[in-house]
Every structure is written in structure tokens, then in C-alpha cells.
Homo-oligomer: A and B are copies of this chain.
Amino acid sequence: MLSQRCVDLGTAPSVIRELFEYGKLRAKEVGADKVFDFSIGNPSVPPPHEVQETLARLLTTVDPLTLHGYTSAQGDLAVREQLAASLSKRFGHEYTASQLYLTVGAAAALCCVFHALTVPGDEYILFAPYFPEYKVFIEGAGARVNILPPQYPDFQIDLNALEAAVNEHTKAVLINSPNNPSGAVYTPETLNALGKLLEDKSRQYGHPIYLISDEPYRELTYDSVTTPWTPDFYRDTIVCYSYSKSLSLPGERIGYVLVGRSVTDSETVYAAVAGAGRTLGYVNAPSLFQRVAATCDGLRADVGVYAENRRLLTEELGKLGYDTAHPPQGTFYYFLPTLEPDDVAFCQQAKALDLLLVPGSGFGAPGYARLSFCVPTDRIRGAIPGFHALAQRYGR
């Protein structure tokens, strides 16, 4: 008798992972240059040079017992002070070390927050399209998930649907902007309306409804778009962040939870996050990369390649008859309307042409396919004939 939920989670096939493995096998059969794998969101541009320089400096100048030693459970104090100063400067608040809890990436940050906040009967609301692991994390913390349908085609928030969904059991609303997979960045107008709605509902139900803002793609935006700072729009915002995408360090697992002092009972919420980390076995975030993150906060890998890939896709797929009217404003995902309503069937057609795309229905948004464009630009160029053939199958 084992935990059936854990067995299921450990054996459940992941659509994305299976596609990725298929791509590797297929590349062996027909040659790597003939398979176009757009399945996985693994950064393809190296970390900013400051990351390498910081690593080299730390490893040669800091006593290894300090550098690799235990830190405080919430993160090294000097690291948190440095990071608080950086965030304060970047976003115009006065954050302090005592509001930051360093984590083993954004997944850990989210798990700590869900476990900290959840009491039996709680419900979390999130918006499709959404990152499927959210459901795993929230249910793991013992809460229910209510997923609201996507607002096509701009993938902002359907406030009427949210208004109808919030109830006395709503513990928090979870947002992810820039959004994986839609690429949408919530506008100040969306966030303003969201903040107002949550204020009203918090008053109505007599307890704060938290806004959990998962922002690993915060710095990955295009053209003139910047990601608004969510706590500016709603006091009870808890920020979860990871350096995986901005610094191209997804394997190193470093991120943070920020509980600003505007959050109701912020010190107790912070303590609960730390307590959750403790019971989940997160002793401290990896110590070397705590220091790297603090030093490199606010930098981002050179997104020129991503921007060029996005431009190429918009232009070339548009010419072929795909709907590219809503290119992503952020992230490195292109969320493309499929050429038939059944996105799974469409992705099968694409797969037969060695184009590996992820069906949108896996993210709760049927009729779309996710194309991860964090690949070398020549992979985009090489895939265009395949997209041409695919369009032809649909009579374009």
C-alpha cells in the first residue's frame, strides 16, 4: 500500500515530456536536422556573462565553508538584503530582507505558499490557459482548484467569470503573467480591475483573498511591453519568482517568495511560508546560487534570439495562412490557433510532418497549439516548409 496519488503522479505520462522523448528518437531515425522539436521550454540562450563572472569570483574569493554552508532557512541575510535593495530600486517599493524567502525555484515557492495558506475546504482560482503542474501543487496542499475558461483571443482575464466564481472558500487567485502558454502579459487595466474585484470580494467575505503572482517570465517581454509590477495593483499580492528563464538557469533551482508589508498579517503569512518550507524538506535554497541570484537580479539573458524567432514566426506563418494576429507579448511560447477545432488532431498532423507542438487543450485552451521558440533561429527557418505542408493539408 503506497500513496496512490504519488504512484499515479510518478507514472502518469506527461504529454510534453513524451513528445520531447519522441523527438529524440525520431531524430535518430531521420536525422536531427529533419525533426523540429518545439515541445519544451528550456532556455536556448546562455546565461548573461555576469552569471559566469559571478560564479568564477565567488568560487575563487569566498571561503568554501561559507559559500557552500547552510544558510538561514529563509536565505542568507546578506543575500536577502542585496535582493531587497535591488527589487526596491527596480519597482519603487521599500522591500526588506525580512519579506523575502529564498526558494528552490518557482515550483518550491508556489508549493510553500499553497501549503502555508491552505486550510481544509479552501479553493484556488486560476485561468486557462495554465501551467498544468499548478493543479498538482494545489491539490498536494489539500485544496480544490477552480479553472476558469480562457478569454479568447487576447487571454486577458474574464472578470465576469471571476466575479461569478469567487466564493467564501476562495483562498487565492493565481495568475501567471507573462503567461505560459499564451504569451499574454496582463495589462495595467486588467490588473486594476482584478485588484478592485478582489478588494470588494475580500470585504464581502470578511477575509483577504490573496493574489499569487507567479512571474518566472517577468523579464521576457517584446517590443515595448513591460510586465506591470503586480503588488502595485493589489495589496494582498504574494509574488513567486524564479531565475530559471531570466538568467537561463532552470536546473539550478533558485527563486523567491516576496510577502510585502501591505499583505494582511504579512509577518504571519511569511512565517507560514517558512513553516511550509520546513515541513516540505526545503532546508535552504542552494547556497552558491543564492549569491548568484542576488548579484544578477534584474539582468536577463540576451533575448535577441527569442525576439528574432518570434518575428520570423509571425511573418512566415502569417504568409502561410496561420492566424498570427496575436503574437506573444512575453515568454518564449507562441500560442497558435490551430487550423481545425481539434487541437490534438492538428498536433498529430504536425507530428506526422516532424513538427512537434503541444496541444492547447493540455493547458485548458483547446483550439490552440503551443510552440516553444527557445531554439536556435535556424530551427525556425528549417521548420517553415513543414508548416507550409501542414497549412496545405488544411487547404490554405
Contact = CB atoms under 8 A, between A and B. Distances in A.
Interface of A: 1-12, 40, 42-47, 51-52, 55-56, 59, 63-65, 67-71, 104-105, 107-112, 115-119, 133, 136-137, 139-140, 207, 248-253, 265, 268-276, 278-289
Given A1-B207, A42-B69, A281-B110, A275 B8 contact: yes
Contact of A250 (B1, B68, B111, B281): B68
A6 B137 contact: no
Contact of A248 (B55, B56, B64): B64
B278 A68 contact: no
18 contacts: A2-B117, A3-B118, A3-B275, A6-B115, A6-B116, A7-B116, A9-B275, A10-B273, A44-B65, A65-B248, A71-B251, A104-B253, A104-B286, A105-B283, A136-B278, A251-B286, A253-B285, A286-B286
Per DSSP, chain A at the interface is helix
A64 to B, nearest CB: 5
A42 B272 CA distance: 25
Contacts of A278: 9-10, 133, 136
A11 B275 contact: yes
A188 to B, nearest CB: 30
Number of copies: 2
A2 B249 CA distance: 32
A11 B267 CA distance: 10
B68 A248 contact: yes
Contact of A119 (B2, B119, B280): B2
Name the 9 nearest CB pairs between A and B, nearest first.
Answer: A251-B287, A10-B275, A9-B275, A111-B281, A10-B271, A6-B275, A140-B279, A10-B274, A107-B281
With a 10 A CB-CB cut-off, give which of A105, A273, A283 has the most chain B CB atoms.
A283
Nearest to A207: B1
B65 A6 contact: no
A272 B119 contact: no
A153 B281 CA distance: 31
Nearest to A244: B70
Contacts of A115: 3, 6
B273 A104 contact: no
A55 B59 contact: yes
A368 B281 CA distance: 27
A241 to B, nearest CB: 14
A269 B7 CA distance: 8
Contacts of A11: 271, 275
